[in-house]
């Protein structure tokens, strides 16, 4: 039986005849606005049901809502002269959209929020949705020779690049990604449980698919209408590929942007793009890693014999990957089909392209990598108000590792900050120093957890690095705290007396009876800045109230502890 499905169409830059309408040059990057024209690929909808479902794990589901809020900002819009009649986004559709965005946020990382414009409108024919970056960017400090999606370079650079791009009306660019959803589809299923009924189309799956294109899952390859000539890149000189293009190889492992083999433009390139060079494959190291020991040992792209604008080249091959965990990015979607995961292959491809990964994707890329850390506890000691202190976390890829060690750091604290990039990729034997700064905002004892997500096999991710630091008032040399436990009963352990000092100092700690008779000296000598605790042996002490006194550089303070026998 002929299998008929609905098309997922990408209004993205590689799928149409491309008109480069604007270049914005700044000191270190170039932004390109492009206008879209050409043919939209549509296929006739039917009642074909695949009965295939992959849901979010319970552990990941708990993290979706908070992850989405941290990484994305969504602006909902209704198209002008909207033929569907709605004045606002349907609540169910908005909830499902945000759920899909949350799934993405648990797999990718960006310290700068990515802003999405989500438009509810009627699209041509049976097109379900479309998406694309609002700009392509070349950033000299990262890669001056490739175009990236605006969202990706925002994540990689840690800069809100859209705010540095001026639009035609003189205001900063507002969005990184634009997503259009077809409001006239009558068969949407807005549930988030991946239990799409027969005859219905899973909204979350469609949004996940389109977001991947907005993040940069597309290339510049195209075939002008009516020709048998393939070409890549944009206008101007020199011509640069998209980062996606750099990983495209033919069946003989020849890079298809290698102009010594595939002239640009050329019929040879057309033959490759229409599958006549034994297919086209995305051959990044991490993509290939996810396919080890699989039947599909290379990431074959969708290259039908007839070039299909909107589908060819910038999707995974449907025959190879349909009904698999990597089915999200095939070019068409059936009914009764839900896949609420990017799948390991998409994670590997985005990683090869340079996207910083979060926990979800890193778990897919577990490999023969081995991680070692300098410490899982970073004590910043004691500082005075207005001071800061930095420490270094040393991360190393063990020389015995077989694969690249990749990871990302997550820290939510107003008192501790990560210096520089929070993601890394290390070959065996390489290492990196991550600078952490204790920058207290108030006078207190502060703690935080630095989470390290990684793909190593020797330690379960994430690794938690505990951060501690204490701040005293300006010019305050020490702080004496209450002993604990207090009061002390027979079942308690020996009490401990905590105190902090903010500079090298001579410290003397004594214990007295309530009448002022000295019992013993608990500590006497020079100590470095830091927090200390002294244990008090109470074996020979009777029931009663006792006084402890600390003297630091001539200044003193006292506390009390009660013992019950």
Query: Does residue 116 register a pLDDT over 60?
Result: yes
Q: Residue 280: count other Cβ atoms within 10 Å of its Cβ.
A: 25
CB hemisphere CA count around 71 (13 angstroms): 27
Q: What is the pLDDT of residue 178?
A: 92
Q: What is the pLDDT of residue 133?
A: 92
Q: Which of 236-245, 269-278, 340-349, 375-384 has the lowest mean pLDDT?
A: 236-245
Under a CB-based contact definition with an 8 Å cutoff, are residues 417 and 380 in contact?
Answer: no
DSSP string, 121-154: E--STT--EEEEES-EEEETTTEEEEEEEHHHHH
Q: What is the pLDDT of residue 370?
A: 86
* Rounded-to-10 torsion of CA 255, 261, 263, 266: -90
Q: What is the pLDDT of residue 198?
A: 92
Query: Does residue 369 register a pLDDT over 60?
Result: yes
Query: Does residue 11 register a pLDDT over 50?
Result: no
Under a CB-based contact definition with an 8 Å cutoff, are residues 539 and 519 in contact?
Answer: no
Give the SS3 label for residue 363.
Answer: helix
Query: Does residue 47 register a pLDDT over 70?
Result: no
When pLDDT is averaged across residues 510-538 and rounded to a whole number, the result is 95
303-339: per-residue pLDDT in tens? 999 998 888 999 999 999 988 889 999 988 889 999 9
Q: What is the pLDDT of residue 412?
A: 84
When pLDDT is averaged across residues 333-349 and rounded to a whole number, the result is 92
**Percent of the chain having pLDDT more than 90?**
64
Two tokens at 223? 């075939």
Query: Does residue 23 register a pLDDT over 60?
Result: no
For residues 393 and 377, what is the distance between their CA atoms, to the nearest angstrom? 10
Q: What is the pLDDT of residue 537?
A: 94
| 371-472 matches 478-563 in fold | yes
Q: Which residue has the tokens 């050329």?
A: 266
Q: What is the pLDDT of residue 270?
A: 97
Query: Does residue 435 register a pLDDT over 50?
Result: yes
Query: Does residue 206 register a pLDDT over 60?
Result: yes
Q: Which residue has the tokens 């908005």?
A: 94
Query: Does residue 353 register a pLDDT over 50?
Result: yes
Q: What is the pLDDT of residue 1?
A: 30
Q: What is the pLDDT of residue 46?
A: 46
Q: What is the pLDDT of residue 366?
A: 63
Query: Which is higher by pLDDT, 27 or 400?
Result: 400
Query: Which is higher by pLDDT, 291 or 25?
Result: 291
For residues 258 and 237, what is the distance between their CA atoms, to the nearest angstrom? 17
What are the distances in angstroms from CA 381 to CA 413, 466, 507, 522?
Answer: 17, 13, 16, 22
Mean pLDDT of the chain: 87
What are the distances in angstroms from CA 319 to CA 296, 306, 346, 402, 481?
Answer: 11, 16, 17, 32, 68
CATH 2.60.40.10 fits 371-472, yes or no: yes
Q: Where are the domains of the chain?
A: 6-364, 371-472, 478-563
Confidence of residue 295 (pLDDT cuts 50, 70, 90): confident
CATH 2.60.40.10 fits 478-563, yes or no: no
**Total residues belonging to the chain:** 565
Q: What is the pLDDT of residue 212?
A: 93
Under a CB-based contact definition with an 8 Å cutoff, are residues 358 and 107 in contact?
Answer: yes
* Rounded-to-10 torsion of CA 323, 253, 150, 413: 70
For residues 497 and 482, what is the distance between their CA atoms, to the nearest angstrom? 7
Two tokens at 145? 């020779």
When pLDDT is averaged across residues 275-294 and rounded to a whole number, the result is 90
- What is the distance in angstroms between the CA of the first residue and the CA of the last residue of the chain? 87
Q: What is the pLDDT of residue 34?
A: 67
């Amino acid at each position: 039986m002929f299998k008929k499905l609905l098309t997922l169409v990408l209004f993205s830059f590689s799928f149409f005849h491309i008109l480069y309408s604007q270049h914005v040059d700044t000191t270190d990057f170039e932004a390109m606005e492009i206008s879209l024209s050409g043919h939209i690929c549509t296929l006739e909808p039917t009642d074909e049901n695949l009965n295939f479902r992959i849901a979010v794990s319970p552990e990941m589901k708990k993290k979706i809502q908070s992850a989405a809020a941290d990484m994305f900002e969504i602006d909902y819009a209704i198209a002008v002269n909207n033929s569907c009649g709605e004045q606002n986004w349907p609540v169910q559709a908005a909830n499902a959209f945000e759920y899909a965005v949350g799934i993405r946020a648990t797999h990718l990382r960006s310290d700068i929020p990515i802003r999405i414009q989500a438009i509810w409108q009627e699209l041509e024919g049976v097109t379900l949705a479309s998406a694309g970056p609002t700009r392509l960017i070349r950033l000299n400090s990262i890669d001056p020779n490739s175009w990236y999606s605006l969202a990706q370079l925002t994540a990689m650079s840690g800069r809100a690049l859209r705010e540095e791009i001026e639009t035609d009306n003189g205001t900063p660019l507002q969005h990184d990604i634009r997503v259009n959803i077809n409001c006239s589809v009558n068969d949407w299923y807005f549930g988030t449980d991946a239990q799409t009924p027969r005859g219905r189309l899973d909204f979350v799956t469609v949004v996940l698919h389109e977001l991947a294109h907005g993040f940069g899952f597309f290339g510049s390859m195209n075939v002008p209408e009516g020709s048998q000539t393939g070409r890549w890149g944009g206008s101007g000189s020199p011509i640069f590929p998209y980062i996606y293009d750099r990983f495209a190889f033919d069946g003989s492992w020849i890079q298809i942007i290698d102009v010594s083999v595939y002239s640009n433009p050329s019929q040879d390139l057309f033959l490759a793009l229409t599958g006549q060079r034994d297919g086209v494959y995305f051959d990044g190291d991490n993509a290939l890693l996810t396919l080890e020991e699989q039947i599909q040992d290379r990431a074959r792209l969708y290259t039908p014999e007839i070039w299909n604008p909107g589908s060819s080249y910038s999707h995974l091959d449907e025959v190879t990957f349909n009904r698999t965990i990597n089915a999200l990015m095939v070019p068409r979607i059936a009914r009764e089909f839900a896949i609420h995961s990017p799948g390991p292959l998409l994670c590997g491809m985005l990683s090869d392209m340079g996207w910083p990964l979060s926990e979800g994707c890193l778990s897919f890329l577990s490999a023969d990598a081995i991680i070692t850390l300098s410490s899982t506890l970073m004590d910043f000691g004691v500082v005075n108000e207005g001071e800061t202190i930095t420490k270094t976390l040393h991360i190393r890829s063990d020389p015995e590792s077989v694969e690249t060690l990749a990871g990302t750091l997550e820290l939510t604290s107003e008192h501790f900050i990560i210096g520089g990039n929070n993601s890394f990729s290390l070959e065996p034997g390489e290492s990196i120093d991550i600078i952490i700064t204790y920058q207290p905002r108030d006078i207190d004892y502060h703690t935080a957890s630095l989470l390290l997500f990684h793909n190593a096999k020797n330690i379960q991710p994430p690794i938690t690095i505990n951060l501690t630091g204490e701040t005293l008032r300006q010019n305050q040399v020490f702080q004496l705290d209450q002993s604990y436990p207090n009061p002390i009963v027979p079942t308690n352990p020996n009490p401990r007396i905590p105190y902090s000092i903010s500079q090298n100092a001579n410290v003397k700690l004594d214990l007295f009876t309530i009448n002022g008779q000295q019992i013993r000296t608990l500590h006497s000598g020079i100590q470095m800045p830091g927090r200390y605790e002294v244990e008090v042996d109470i074996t020979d002490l009777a029931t009663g109230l006792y006084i402890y006194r600390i003297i630091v550089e001539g200044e003193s303070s006292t506390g009390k502890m009660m013992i019950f026998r």
